[in-house]
Amino acid sequence: MTVKIGVIGCGAIGLEHIKRITNTLSGGKIVAVNDINENNAKKIIADLHLDAKFYADGHELIRSADVDAVLVTCWGPAHKEFVLEAVKQKKYVFCEKPLATTADDCLEIVEEEMKQKKHLVQVGFMRRFDEGYVALKKTIDEGQIGAPLILHAAHRNPAVDEKYTTDMAINDTMIHEIDVLHWLLDDEYISAQVIYPRKTGNASSHLADPQIVLVETKKGIRIDVEIFVNCKYGYDIKCEVVGEDGIAYLPEPATVQTRQKAALNRPILMDWKQRFIKAYDYEIQAFINNINKGQKLNGPTSWDGYAAALTADVCVQAQQNPGKILPIKMKDRPDFYK
Ligand SMILES: NC(=O)C1=CN([C@@H]2O[C@H](COP(=O)(O)OP(=O)(O)OC[C@H]3O[C@@H](n4cnc5c(N)ncnc54)[C@H](O)[C@@H]3O)[C@@H](O)[C@H]2O)C=CC1
Ligand SMILES: O=C1[C@@H](O)[C@H](O)[C@@H](O)[C@H](O)[C@H]1O
């Protein structure tokens, strides 16, 4: 069977996902496309020679009998309405992060999904499909470094535009660490604190950059995440887990090392699209395969979307109260999501 997919939002990541479904992955076909930027969406259909219909209304796309599954890749504030609609229509939906912009909105999706008694939602936290994080998790789970005690992480982007605001360092950028780190440690967060180091001269006047977020887990593990979105030198993701018997590192992306002109060199990627390219392929291939085989979706769930949104909300409050440790109080995970 071929999963007939409708895409809502054809910006940067929407286009990437359309291309990978069309050119790289198997078992799925783009049959419908929507974007408030009609010209751009139609241009994509033409440029990629898609056998797809343009829908001016995203809700109509979701309800169309031609569409089996929906990809929500428009901007965050519009995710909730489209995900809810898809779930109500009992359609599978892959939603880019964030699932919704508030924890309450995520809970509404969770409740609707439980009402349908079927796992229909996968959230685009692709790092859970990254070979490096998967290998790191295996190392921890096998007990190779003993019980994890401390985790140091960094999320560095070379630059961001003027529209990027201080809260986006949490909601847009660190949200990936928020999701992947508790999965990696099989743990939950209980508190968060934000501190601001000296500001880089490369950030816009309204942006606090870099930032350090300190998080504590239920098991007592202390996590520090450096978010530095104007680091200039590259797109660099770091993760180091300090255990009682050793230390485990997230592998570096495979790049060629050269010895040349009295220097040892290894390139660093500049673009987030390249850094996790295989993880994006794997997460969407898994989504398509599970639908095709009638299996339960195995990626991040709408509950994970809620957990990330709630944690992000607390981190944003912590940004506004620098140095203050704020509690993270999560609802109990329903059996449906265990
Ligand atoms: N997993 C990941 O690593 C990444 C995830 N994202 C997430 O993907 C989403 C999209 O991000 P980008 O593609 O970078 O943004 P973008 O700004 O390049 O594209 C967003 C697109 O959505 C369209 N749009 C906005 N509101 C709409 C609506 N109500 N209905 C239909 N279309 C609408 C816009 O016209 C635009 O084409 C965001 O939620 C972002 O956080 C983005 C980049 C990487
Ligand atoms: O999701 C992403 C972007 O939206 C975000 O703006 C970047 O900071 C992240 O590195 C990237 O993975």
Q: Are residue 16 and residue 147 in the same domain, yes or no?
A: no
**Domain at 132, CATH number:** 3.30.360.10
- Mean of all residue pLDDT scores within the chain: 97
Give the largest CA-CA distance in the chain: 65
Nearest listed ligand to the Cα of residue 11:
1
**pLDDT, tens only, 238-294:** 999 999 999 999 999 999 999 999 999 999 999 998 899 999 999 999 999 999 999
Same domain, yes or no: 77 and 182:
no
Residue nearest to atom 39 of ligand 1 (CA): 76
In this predicted structure, what is the pLDDT of residue 1?
A: 85
Distance 76 CA to ligand 1 centre (A): 7
Model pTM score: 0.95
Tell me how many degrees the CA angle 249-250-251 measures, rounded to the nearest 5.
105
Q: How many domains does the chain have?
A: 2
Answer yes or no: is the ipTM higher than 0.85: yes
What is the span of the domain harbouring residue 166? 128-270+322-337
* Whole-angstrom distance, CA of residue 50 vs CA of residue 57: 19
Whether residue 99 has its Cβ less than 6 Å from ligand 1: no
Contact 121, 96 (CB under 8 A): no
Residue where the block lists tokens 């070979």 = 131
Look at residue 98 and tell me if it is in a domain: yes
